[in-house]
Amino acid sequence: MAGNQATSFQRKPMFTGLDMAGVTTTNPALTWEHVRKIKKLTKMKLLIKGIEVGEDAKLCVENGVDGIIVSNHGGRAEESGRGTIECLPEVLEGAGGRIPVLIDGGFRRGTDIFKALALGARAVCIGRPHIWGLAAFGQPGVEKVLDILRIELELVMKQCGTKSIAEINRRMVT
């Protein structure tokens, strides 16, 4: 019995039982030269998703990226790293206010959104919650999820004495 209990708490590899030969989560052959080429090929804004450290944010700025999305890709690539909210201040410092920094990953409440905005994120991307609403109730489910997040954000803004998103600032979080 004790042996079974110990194994039930063991960390299990994400892809157990799947043939992952030749599958990678990143392409090590991609370089900043590729980013510059993509930038030259389009008039659209180029955002890089998956930035977690200040050094990479600086490289984004140096290589003409128009914006950054701080993301750990839902933890699918590596689940033991820092949360995106923990990475945000370092990425903001690396970007130095020269390009917008957005964030995603784990935002489930209006208070989560408030904290990210207070720390300096330009916007917060909502991933799974809207998918849950869609899966459960279709478009009305997505609309309800967004309504709930908006209502929660407005509530915490009122509790902090802010009347607009622009008034949210770093002093409001510790």
Which residues are the active-site residues?
Answer: 73
- Whether 94 and 63 have beta carbons less than 8 Å apart is answered as no
* Helix (H), strand (E) at residue 101: strand 101-103
32, 45, 99 from 42: Cα distances, Å: 16, 8, 18
- Provide the 3-class DSSP secondary structure of residue 80: coil
| Nearest alpha-carbon partner for 69 in 93, 47, 36 | 47
The contacts of residue 34 (CB under 8 Å, 6+ apart) are: none
